[in-house]
Structure 1
């Protein structure tokens, strides 16, 4: 048994093909838009959101749509208006992928409830045999010596049982078919606690991210998932400040300036 801390790594972000965007804009008369935006990986997420928004009204330049006589040329101002007007559909084009490491199955069972706008690939304990039981303890639990003594003892006993079963089933013997290993490993996972740490890749669009950050850092949310999405929120404010800069933080709760986006 080992103590672990939940970790979040941002592993994928939008990447735009500016040549194809330029070809499109040349046809509709919006070439100058590309002159106003910064190009490159850190900017692609916000550029994609702006591009998706402007295509709705052909608002690349005044006059391209006779109904549009003036436009916002500052990207931060433009995206702030997207958030304020709850034009959230354009944010669904912008997706980010995270590697969530050392997070419990308690947290992942809650996370998979957010299905809309998200994709999940989680470590399968039907295939991955447990040879130790990584476990996260909140600070208040660590400050209770008797609780920690009993909890550690119980986890060590469960861990020893995992090793005993692997030996009992001869899973490491030469020639054991993988199908048998899978079946026995699936049985063995039933004796692992729900708090055992695992890993997954979680992908979500910006609209979903904003919703989950607000809901899962709220005071009533489970404390590990609050910790986890506080870390996600910190990453996103740095990654796309024009899309996440409206939040204020109160006692760990991330409160958006604009809801129902």
Structure 2
């Protein structure tokens, strides 16, 4: 799996803080941006997060190249609708070489991994035969497994990144998409450290777990807020 930050809003934290300051200032936009110090940026971001005023975070966007995740993971990913996706098509791209993902729980079972890989090879042989017999790629792809690796470009604004990471970095999320968003977070931290620190599991912000079962890191919501379960 590989995640690369392709493009992002220049100085995203400054933009977010300046947009928020504009809401409460009579000054012109350029003046606000020019006068904003790093300390003021930090204070403004803290204020926005503590008050729940998150719309200014939508001004900053990040585009990532994602390679080597399975179709099973990408099906989960596109459920996050406040984002844009462009994915390698199985209709227009013939998979002459099948790349696929092997889950860790299968890798650790040697004999089963061999059977798994044999099944992938068998399916791929059938796929190639279908193509050779003139079956269109858009129909031959029906035999391809969820394990098939894919490539995509994903663009999210900072607010949606915070929301998605709050869910997908949780240990209860599926391992593959959790690994992907750990790499996404690392890419954001590289260019916007302050913002990157806010890409964290939701219980870190809430102080409790609002799932039906806790991993043990935080108590359940009902234990912290009696009567709310």
Q: TM-score, normalised by structure 2?
A: 0.80
Aligned with 1:12 (options 7, 14, 25)? 7
Judge conservation of contact 2:6–2:64 (CA < 8 Å) in 1.
yes
Counterpart of 2:153 in 1: which secondary structure? strand
Query: Match for residue 174 of structure 2?
Result: 222
Matched, 1:202 2:154: yes
TM alignment of 1:243-258, pairs within 5 A: 243-246=195-198, 256-257=204-205
Aligned to 2:184, the other structure's residue is in SS state helix
Q: 2:165, 2:199 within 8 Å by CA — same for their partners in 1?
A: no
Output aligned runs, 1:55-204, within 5 Å. Answer: 55-58=22-25, 74-116=40-82, 118-169=83-134, 184-204=136-156
Contiguous gaps of at least 5 residues in structure 1: 1-5, 16-43, 65-70, 170-182
Taking a change above 3 Å as real, the CA distance of residues 140 and 13 of structure 1, as seen in their structure-2 partners, is same
Structure 1 residues 149, 82: closer, same or farther in 2, change over 3 A? Answer: same
Instruction: Render the CA deviation track for 1:204-236: whole Å, top value 9, x for unaligned.
Output: 000000010110111221111011111111222
Structure 1 distance, partners of 2:76, 2:190, is 26
**Unaligned stretches of 5+ in structure 2?**
32-36, 208-229
The TM-score normalised by the length of structure 1 is 0.70
Report the aligned-residue RMSD: 2.4
Quick one: distance in 2 between partners of 1:112 and 1:247? 19
CA drift at 1:77: 2.2
When residues 72 and 7 of structure 1 are mapped into structure 2, their CA distance, relative to the original with a 3 A threshold, is: closer
Q: Deviating runs (4+, > 6 A) in structure 1?
A: none
CA deviation digits over 1:177-202, x for unaligned, max 9?
xxxxxx70100110100110011111
Q: Which residue does 2:19 correspond to in 1?
A: 52
Q: Please give the alpha-carbon distance, in whole angstroms, between the structure 2 residues aligned to 1:73 and 1:158.
A: 57
Quick one: structure 1 residues 72 and 136, their matched pair in 2 at CA, closer, same or farther if it must change by over 3 Å? closer
Matches of 2:65 and 2:203, distance apart in 1: 24
8 A contact 1:84–1:258 mirrored in 2: no
